[in-house]
């Protein structure tokens, strides 16, 4: 009885996965629509689950019974039931939120986020879900501890009937598999095995071929920058303010401008405006890493960059620090991921936060005041600066799960309007301290909306434009007019763009991006990571967008960043090169960054600048 309760929970996981796009995708592959889906076809996807849970594991328990007896076997079933129920609960909630299974690399960041915002657990795990989990665990515990009572003994008397049921259902499932012509895929794999392998899966990066690379690292400016005007060249060392908004999709930014964002709109009149700008990863730490370093983040960034050592990466920010700039990042988040502060320190900067325990708006305002005071001090001492400000008011979720897109964007605009007011205060402070005409302002967002809890309209098996497409405005008051870039651009482009326009353009830096303001931009591709949120990654190459779901091993292609979940590519041979890049993108990037670190470290040693241990 205990075991059957647990496996029912596991089967529910598989059913949710299939109901949320699985049947539609697999039906599209064999030319079936929703009206032609029958019970036997659906049952074929559960065949391996039923064979494992109703025949395989019970047979193993029977063998165990021969060695350890009834008491040992009963305890084993009890532990197995509790463990599988807990595992199923975790996966169910991650699946509902992100469309992918939970992995080991997600657990530490999730715990860190829970420490920062304890109440946030109820934003991603519903009270109803917690009550179901508690009820199932309580039932299992009661059945175990009172298993010798007469009522439960009668339940055990039905064991032969349970065996008959298990064998019959498994046989029907076998018939369904024989009749079904659907190609075998990950949707057919047993869900219990997938949950375990996703968490404790092995790393295959060690065997990765060196032929698969994620892009160049050493970067040299590609000619003149459109931002380097004669008027701009005459001024020395312009200040830079990076205004990095939280969770702002481009669609919301456009919606907000129509309703009124006067301070953000004012920047666009003398700015480089990228209309198709994308984040590298819909996760703040990883997006910030790309902005600051010009490099793509691998899935396991913290394990790749060696946080216990100093890293001699060169970017626009470290180059300007070497020219005497004060580089400081103002972050209202009190408890940050280790990689956040590490990346700033490696580039010669500092992090200023707030220790007040309050709501995001109060923290934002408190730190904005600190930033404005620092601007005044730098202006008074004639110290050039790079100051980054990261307001958190717009962090999702904005409304309860299930809110309409219209209501969601109205709330998003209300918050964004407050952020726009903060930008106005910042610009006024630059004016008041006499440095506005010599200050470049970079306005962008770390990422867009990411999960179904944040936005119910998001798709779960492909990449979403609302997660990746974000605004980018590089305001330079010395420009005579705006410069509009319509081609796709990325966060990895921000560092080389600033370097070529305002730094030492003749010096090399590390970057996998390119100068957005180059008069002669070179052909390239752009990558999108997202394995934390829907198990997918993507690329823009040769005028097309691609979305690859590693869990389904399916590839989508579209001329725009909008993929039909039910329409994966049927013939993959023409896209073999793209598929190879996407299938191994993370391992390739991990290998590339690790090797580049060793190269830079050796170079530093040659110049007598041995990288110190932290």
> Rounded to whole angstroms, how far apart are CA atoms 439 and 288?
21
Q: How far is CA 371 from CA 278, 303, 444, 448, 472, in A?
A: 27, 32, 18, 25, 22
Q: What is the pLDDT of residue 205?
A: 41
Position 154 pLDDT exceeds 70:
no
For 470-515, the pLDDT digits (tens) are 999 999 999 989 999 999 999 999 999 999 999 888 888 989 999 9
Residue 526 lies in a domain: no
Whole-number pLDDT of residue 203? 47
Structural domain contains residue 613: no
Mean per-residue pLDDT over the chain, rounded? 82
572/320: higher pLDDT: 320
* 0.75 surpassed by pTM: yes
Per the structure, the complete domain to which residue 104 belongs is given by: 46-182
User: In terms of domains, do 496 and 405 share one?
Assistant: yes
Q: What is the 3-state secondary structure (H, E, C) of 430-460?
A: HHHCCCHHHEEEEEEECCCCCCCCCCCCCCC
Residue 153, domain member (yes or no): yes
| 205 in any annotated domain | no
Q: Is residue 227 part of a domain?
A: no
If asked whether residues 577 and 540 sit together in one domain, one would say yes
Question: Which has more pLDDT, 231 or 473?
Answer: 473
* Residue 245 to residues 391, 507, 539, Cα–Cα distance (Å): 6, 30, 24
* 88 and 158 both lie in a single domain: yes
Helix or strand run (H / E) with residue 553: none
Going by the DSSP 8-state scheme, the letter that residue 540 receives in this structure is E
pLDDT at 19: 75
**57 and 178 together in one domain:** yes
Please, which pLDDT band fits residue 604 given cuts at 50, 70 and 90? low
Do 475 and 333 lie in a common domain?
yes
| 408 and 506 fall within a common domain | yes
Least confident of 133-147, 177-191, 528-542: 177-191
pLDDT, tens only, 396-434? 899 987 899 999 999 999 999 999 999 999 999 999 999
Looking at the structure of the chain, the number of domains it has is: 4
The pLDDT value recorded for residue 40 is 77
Query: Hey, what are 218's tokens?
Result: 């050493």
| pLDDT band, residue 602 (cuts 50/70/90) | low
Both 469 and 447 in one domain: the answer is yes
Residue 3 in contact with residue 130, Cβ under 8 Å?
Answer: no
Instruction: Give the model's pLDDT for residue 252.
Output: 97
Same domain, 171 and 243: no
Pair 56, 2 in one domain = no
| Residue 529, domain member (yes or no) | no
Residue 607 counted as domain residue: no
Tell me the CATH number at 491.
Answer: 3.40.720.10
* The domain boundary residue, chosen from 182, 199, 225: 182
Instruction: Examine the pLDDT at 534 and tell me if it is beyond 70.
Output: no
Same domain, 427 and 564: no
pLDDT digits (tens, 9 = 90+) for 233-291: 445 689 999 999 999 999 999 999 999 999 999 999 999 999 999 999 999 999 999 99
* pLDDT band of 20, cuts 50, 70, 90: low
Whether residue 207 has pLDDT greater than 50: no
In a domain, 604, yes or no: no
- 553 with 490, same domain? no
> For residue 155, is pLDDT > 60?
no
Same domain? 168 vs 83: yes
């Amino acid at each position: 009885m205990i075991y059957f309760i647990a496996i029912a929970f596991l089967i529910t996981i598989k059913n949710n996965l299939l109901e949320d796009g699985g049947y539609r995708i697999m039906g599209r592959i064999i030319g079936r629509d929703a009206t032609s889906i029958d019970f036997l076809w659906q049952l074929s996807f559960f065949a391996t689950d039923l064979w494992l849970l109703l025949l395989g594991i019970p047979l193993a328990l029977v063998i165990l019974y021969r060695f350890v007896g009834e008491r040992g076997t009963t305890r084993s079933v009890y532990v197995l039931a509790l463990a599988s129920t807990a595992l199923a609960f975790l996966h169910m909630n991650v699946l509902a939120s992100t469309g992918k299974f939970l992995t080991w690399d997600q657990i530490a960041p999730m715990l860190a986020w829970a420490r920062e915002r304890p109440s946030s657990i109820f934003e991603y795990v519903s009270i109803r879900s917690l009550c179901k989990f508690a009820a199932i665990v309580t039932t299992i515990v009661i059945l175990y501890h009172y298993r010798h009572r007469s009522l439960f003994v009668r339940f055990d008397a039905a064991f032969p009937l349970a065996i008959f049921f298990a064998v019959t259902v498994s046989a029907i499932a076998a018939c369904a598999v024989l009749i079904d012509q659907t190609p075998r895929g990950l949707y057919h794999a047993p869900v219990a095995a997938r949950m375990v392998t996703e968490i404790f899966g092995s790393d295959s990066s060690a065997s990765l071929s060196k032929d698969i690379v994620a892009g160049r690292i050493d970067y040299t400016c590609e000619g003149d920058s459109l931002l380097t005007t004669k008027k701009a060249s005459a001024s020395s060392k312009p200040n830079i303010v990076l205004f990095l908004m939280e969770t702002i999709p481009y669609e919301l930014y456009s919606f907000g401008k129509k309703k009124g964002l006067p301070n953000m709109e004012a920047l666009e009149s003398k700015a480089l405006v990228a209309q198709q700008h994308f984040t590298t990863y819909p996760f703040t730490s990883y997006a910030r890493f790309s902005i600051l370093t010009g490099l793509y983040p691998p899935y396991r960034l913290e394990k790749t960059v060696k946080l216990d050592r100093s890293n001699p990466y060169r970017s626009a920010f470290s180059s300007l620090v070497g020219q005497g700039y004060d580089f400081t990042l103002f972050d209202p988040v009190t408890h940050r991921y280790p990689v956040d502060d590490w990346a700033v320190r490696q580039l010669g900067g500092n992090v200023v936060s707030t220790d007040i325990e309050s709501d995001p708006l109060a923290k934002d305002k408190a730190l904005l005041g600190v930033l404005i005071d620092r601007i005044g001090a730098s202006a008074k001492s004639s110290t050039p600066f790079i100051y980054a400000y990261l307001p958190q008011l717009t962090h999702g979720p904005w409304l309860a799960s299930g809110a309409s897109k219209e209501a969601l964007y109205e709330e998003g605009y209300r918050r964004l309007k407050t952020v726009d007011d903060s930008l106005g205060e910042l610009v006024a402070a630059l004016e008041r301290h006499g440095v506005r005409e010599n200050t470049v302002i970079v306005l962008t967002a770390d990422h867009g909306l990411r999960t179904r809890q944040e936005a119910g309209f998001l798709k779960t098996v492909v990449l979403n434009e609302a997660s990746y497409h974000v605004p980018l405005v590089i305001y330079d008051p010395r420009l005579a007019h705006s410069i509009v870039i319509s081609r796709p651009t990325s966060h990895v482009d921000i560092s080389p763009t600033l370097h070529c326009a305002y730094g030492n353009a003749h010096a090399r830096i590390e970057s996998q991006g390119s100068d957005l303001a180059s008069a002669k931009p070179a052909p390239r591709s752009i990558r999108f990571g997202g394995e934390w949120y829907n198990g997918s990654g993507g690329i823009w190459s040769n005028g097309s967008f691609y979305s690859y779901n590693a869990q389904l091993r399916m590839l989508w292609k579209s001329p725009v960043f909008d993929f039909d979940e039910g329409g994966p590519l049927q013939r993959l041979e023409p896209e073999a090169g793209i598929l190879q890049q996407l299938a191994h993108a993370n391992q390739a990037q991990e290998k590339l960054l690790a090797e580049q670190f060793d190269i830079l470290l050796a170079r530093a040693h040659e110049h007598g600048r041995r990288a110190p241990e932290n």
